[in-house]
C-alpha cells in the first residue's frame, strides 16, 4: 500500500469514528439539540420534566367583575356650578399646601374645573361662577344621593349623571362640614338603583373596590385593600378614616368604596399626595359614620351632636403615673365649662374620663367621637378616675354649640415647677394677677420646666389635686406623691383662660 492510500484510509476511519461518537453522544443526552448544525428531535419520555401546572385548590386573585356589574348603576358623577370664592383651607379648617389633598381649591389642584380665564377664575361669560366635578351614589330608590360636603360646597346648581348618561337636577338636603358628608335628593318619576351600607366591621387586609369619576373621566373602578383603620389626619374633631390603597384621584371625592358583597364600607374623601396624584394612600369616611350623619340630615338638613362640656387633654406616661393610672389612656379634664352638662353632673377638673357607657376611651379625640355619637338629652354613664379610684357619673348630654363656645379636644403640654426644675414663682396676687395660686416669674430655658412648655405668666393652681398659694403647698404635694411611690406629680396650670395639667418628674425636684 502506498503512503498516499494509507493516509487516505486513516483519514476515512477517523471521520467515521468521529461521526459515530457525535451521534452516540447526542442520543445519550436524550434531549433535542443541535450537533454540527443538525437538529436532533428526541421523543419525550416519562422521565422528562413536565410543564408547570397550578393545583386546582391554589388561592386565586378575586374577580371584581360581578361586584362592579352590580353596583356601578348606583354610582353617579356629580357636576356643580358654584360661587367663585377663594379657598384657603380644607374642610373644617385643614390647611392647604401639605401632602393631604382635599380637592378644595379652585384651579388645577382641585375637583373644580379651570375657567377659561385661568386657574381659579370664572369662565368667560359667567359672572363669579366656576364648575366642578365629583362622585356620589344612590342610597335609596327614591333618589337620595350621598357625596362629600366639599364637592357641593357653595353650589348653586347640582347635576347628577348616571352610568348610562342620564342626567338629573339634584338639590342639597344638608351638609356636615365636620365629617365632610353631604346628602342630595333627585326627584324623578322612577325608581333608582341604589346600594346599601355595610353594617359589619371591616377588617384591615380585606379587599375593597372604589368606584368614581376621577378627573371627570366618568365611571372608573380601582381595587385594593383596607390598609388601616382609625386614621387621624388632622381634618377635624371626629377623624376616624379608613385608609385604602385602591388608587383614587381628584374627582373620586364622594364616591363609594365597596366590600366584595357590594356594600358601601366608606366614602372616599382625601388622598395623601405629595405630587397631587394618587400614590396609593387614600382615606374614606367609615360607613357607620356616614349612616349616622345621613339619617340626621334627612330629618331637617342639620346634624345635632351630644355635648359634654369639658376642656380635655391627653394622658401620657408621666401623667398616668402621677394619677396612679395603670395605662396612659383616657381624657384628662382640665376644666369643665361653665353651665355645661359635666358641671351639672359633678365632673371636676382633674378627673380622667376612662369610659363612656362602659366603652373604654383611648384619648381625647376618641372621647369627642363617642360623645358626638349620642343625641342631645341622652343620659350616658361617664367613668372617671378620681383620687386614685374609679367611679361612675351619669350625665345628661346637652346640644353641641355651633357658636365656637365648644371646647375642642387638645393635647396639653407637660411642665413642672420649683427652683430645682428651672422656675421662680411668686404669689399670683403679688404680681398683679387675679388668679389664686403661684405665678411663674422666671423660667430657665435649659431646665425641665421649659422643656415641658412652662412659660412666664403661667399660674400654678394646684399640685397633686390640692390648691396651692405658697411654696410650702407645692412641696407638700410633691412629698405626698413620693410617699405614695409615684414617679411624677400632677400640676394644674392656668395660662390666660386655658387650663392644662403637667406631670413633674419627682426625682428632679
pLDDT in tens, 333-350: 988 888 889 999 999 988
Average pLDDT over residues 414-433: 62
- To which residue does cell 349612616 refer? 291
**pLDDT reading at 63 higher than 70:** yes
Active site residue 150: yes
Please tell me if the domain spanning 65-302 has the same topology as the one spanning 419-508.
Answer: no
Paired residues of 313 in beta bridges: 332
With a pLDDT cut of 90, the percent of the chain lying above it is: 35
> What does the block give as the cell for 368?
369627642
Q: Do residues 342 and 333 lie in contact, with contact meaning Cβ atoms separated by under 8 Å?
A: yes
Q: How far apart are CA 379 and CA 399, in angstroms?
A: 12
- Output the pTM of the full model: 0.62
Q: Which pLDDT does position 431 carry in this prediction? A: 62
Whole-number Cα distances in Å, 454 to 10, 425, 503: 108, 12, 11
Q: Please, which residues bridge with residue 393 across strands?
A: 382
Q: Tens digit of pLDDT for each residue in 470-497? A: 777 887 888 788 778 787 888 888 887 7
Q: Which residue has the higher pLDDT, 362 or 413?
A: 362
pLDDT in tens, 183-231: 999 999 999 999 999 988 899 999 999 998 877 677 789 999 999 998 8
Q: Report pLDDT digits (tens) over 134-166.
A: 999 999 999 999 999 999 988 899 999 999 999
Query: Closest Cα partner for 73 from 184, 166, 148?
Result: 166
Catalytic annotation, pick one of 110, 227, 253, 322: 253
CA–CA separation, 278 and 265 (whole Å): 20
What CATH topology corresponds to 65-302?
Thrombin, subunit H (2.40.10)
Q: Of 172, 152, 242, 168, which Cα lies nearest the Cα of 203?
A: 242
In the DSSP assignment, the letter for residue 367 is H
Q: Cβ neighbours of residue 190 under 8 Å, at least 6 residues apart? A: none
pLDDT, average across residues 398-410: 54
What integer pLDDT is reported at residue 51 of this predicted model? 79
For 212, phi and psi rounded to 5 degrees? -175, -160
List the grid coordinates of 436: 389664686
Map grid coordinates 365629617 to a residue.
Answer: 179
**Separation CA 275–CA 251 (nearest Å):** 16
Judge whether 444 counts as a catalytic residue: no
What fold characterizes domain 306-399? Pdz3 Domain (2.30.42)
User: What mean pLDDT do residues 338-363 have?
Assistant: 92
Number of CB atoms found within 10 A of residue 465's CB: 19
Q: Supply the pLDDT for residue 166.
A: 94
Reported for 49-52, long-range contacts at CB under 8 A and 24+ positions apart, including other chains, are none
Grid coordinates representing 352 are 380622667
Is the pLDDT at 377 greater than 80? The verdict is yes
Q: Where are the alpha helices (DSSP H) in 351-441?
A: 364-372
- Cell 362622585, located at residue: 135
Cα–Cα distance measured from residue 380 to residue 287, given in angstroms and rounded to the nearest whole number: 24
Cα 389 to chain centroid, rounded: 34
Non-local CB neighbours of 391 within 8 Å, separated by 6+ positions: 383, 384
Say what the pLDDT of residue 109 is: 32
Instruction: Give the pairing type, strands 331-336 and 310-314.
Output: antiparallel
Cell of 214: 376621577
Q: Average pLDDT for residues 288-300, to the nearest whole number?
A: 92
> Of 150, 321, 366, 458, which residue is the catalytic one?
150
- Asked if residue 383 has pLDDT above 50, the reply is yes
Q: What is the pLDDT of residue 295?
A: 93
Residue from 92, 153, 180, 318 carrying the catalytic annotation = 180
Element (H, E) at 160: strand 155-161
* Residue boundaries of the structural domains of the chain: 65-302, 306-399, 419-508
Catalytic site residue 201?
no
Higher-confidence residue of 18 and 115: namely: 18
Query: What is the distance between the alpha carbons of residues 178 and 482, in angstroms, rounded to a whole number?
Result: 44
Given this structure, which CATH class describes domain 419-508?
A: mainly beta
Helix then strand count (H, E) for the chain reads 9, 29
- For residue 132, pLDDT beyond 90: no
Residue 195 to residue 356: CA distance in whole angstroms:
33
- Mean pLDDT across the stretch 377-388? 94
Least confident residue range of 41-55, 365-379, 464-478: 41-55
**Do 283 and 224 touch, CB atoms closer than 8 A?**
no
Percent of the chain with pLDDT over 70: 71
Q: Which residue has the higher pLDDT, 80 or 483?
A: 80
The predicted pLDDT at position 57 comes to 56
Q: Which one of 4-8, 106-110, 241-245, 480-484 scores highest in mean pLDDT?
A: 241-245
Amino acid at each position: 500500500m502506498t503512503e498516499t492510500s494509507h493516509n487516505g484510509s486513516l483519514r476515512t476511519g477517523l471521520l467515521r469514528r468521529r461521526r459515530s461518537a457525535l451521534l452516540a453522544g447526542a442520543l445519550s443526552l436524550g434531549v433535542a439539540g443541535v450537533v454540527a448544525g443538525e437538529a436532533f428531535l428526541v421523543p419525550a419520555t416519562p422521565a422528562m420534566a413536565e410543564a408547570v401546572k397550578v393545583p386546582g385548590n391554589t388561592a386565586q386573585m378575586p374577580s371584581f367583575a360581578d361586584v362592579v356589574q352590580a353596583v356601578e348603576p348606583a354610582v353617579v358623577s356629580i357636576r356643580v356650578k358654584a360661587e367663585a370664592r377663594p379657598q384657603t383651607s380644607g374642610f373644617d379648617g385643614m390647611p392647604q399646601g401639605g401632602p393631604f389633598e382635599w380637592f378644595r381649591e379652585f384651579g388645577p389642584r382641585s375637583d373644580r374645573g379651570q375657567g377659561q380665564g385661568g386657574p381659579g377664575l370664572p369662565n368667560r361669560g359667567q359672572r363669579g361662577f366656576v364648575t366642578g366635578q365629583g362622585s356620589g351614589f344612590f342610597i335609596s330608590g327614591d333618589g337620595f344621593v350621598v357625596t362629600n360636603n366639599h364637592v357641593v360646597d357653595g353650589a348653586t346648581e347640582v347635576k347628577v349623571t348616571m352610568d348610562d348618561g342620564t342626567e338629573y337636577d339634584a338639590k342639597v338636603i344638608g351638609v356636615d362640614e365636620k365629617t365632610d358628608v353631604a346628602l342630595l335628593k333627585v326627584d324623578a318619576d322612577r325608581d333608582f338603583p341604589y346600594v346599601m351600607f355595610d353594617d359589619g366591621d371591616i377588617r384591615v387586609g380585606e379587599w375593597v373596590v372604589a368606584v368614581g369619576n376621577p378627573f371627570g373621566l366618568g365611571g372608573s373602578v380601582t381595587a385594593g385593600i383596607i390598609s388601616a383603620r382609625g386614621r387621624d389626619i388632622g381634618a377635624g374633631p371626629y377623624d376616624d378614616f379608613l385608609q385604602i390603597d385602591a388608587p383614587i384621584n381628584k374627582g373620586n371625592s364622594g364616591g363609594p368604596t365597596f366590600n366584595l358583597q357590594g356594600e358601601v364600607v366608606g366614602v372616599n374623601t382625601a388622598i395623601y399626595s405629595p405630587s397631587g396624584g394618587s400614590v396609593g394612600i387614600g382615606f374614606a369616611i367609615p360607613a357607620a359614620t356616614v349612616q349616622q350623619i345621613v339619617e340626621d340630615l334627612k330629618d331637617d338638613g342639620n346634624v345635632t351632636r351630644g355635648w359634654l362640656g369639658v376642656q380635655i387633654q391627653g394622658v401620657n406616661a408621666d401623667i398616668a403615673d402621677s394619677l396612679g393610672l395603670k395605662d396612659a389612656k383616657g381624657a384628662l379634664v382640665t376644666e369643665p365649662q361653665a353651665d355645661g352638662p359635666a358641671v351639672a353632673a359633678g365632673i371636676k377638673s382633674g378627673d380622667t374620663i376612662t369610659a363612656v357607657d362602659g366603652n373604654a376611651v383611648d384619648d381625647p379625640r376618641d372621647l369627642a367621637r363617642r360623645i358626638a355619637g349620642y343625641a342631645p338629652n341622652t343620659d350616658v354613664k361617664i367613668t372617671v378616675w378620681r383620687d386614685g379610684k374609679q367611679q361612675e357619673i351619669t350625665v345628661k348630654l346637652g346640644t353641641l354649640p355651633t357658636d365656637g363656645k365648644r371646647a375642642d379636644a387638645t393635647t396639653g403640654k407637660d411642665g413642672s415647677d420649683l427652683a430645682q426644675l428651672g422656675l421662680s414663682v411668686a404669689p399670683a396676687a403679688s404680681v398683679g394677677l387675679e388668679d389664686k395660686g403661684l405665678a411663674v416669674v422666671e423660667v430657665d430655658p435649659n431646665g425641665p420646666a421649659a422643656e415641658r412648655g412652662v412659660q412666664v405668666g403661667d399660674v400654678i393652681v394646684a399640685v397633686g389635686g390640692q390648691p396651692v398659694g405658697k411654696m410650702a403647698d407645692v412641696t407638700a404635694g410633691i412629698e405626698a406623691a413620693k410617699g405614695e411611690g409615684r414617679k411624677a406629680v400632677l400640676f394644674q396650670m392656668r395660662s390666660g383662660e386655658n387650663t392644662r395639667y403637667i406631670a413633674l418628674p419627682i426625682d428632679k425636684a
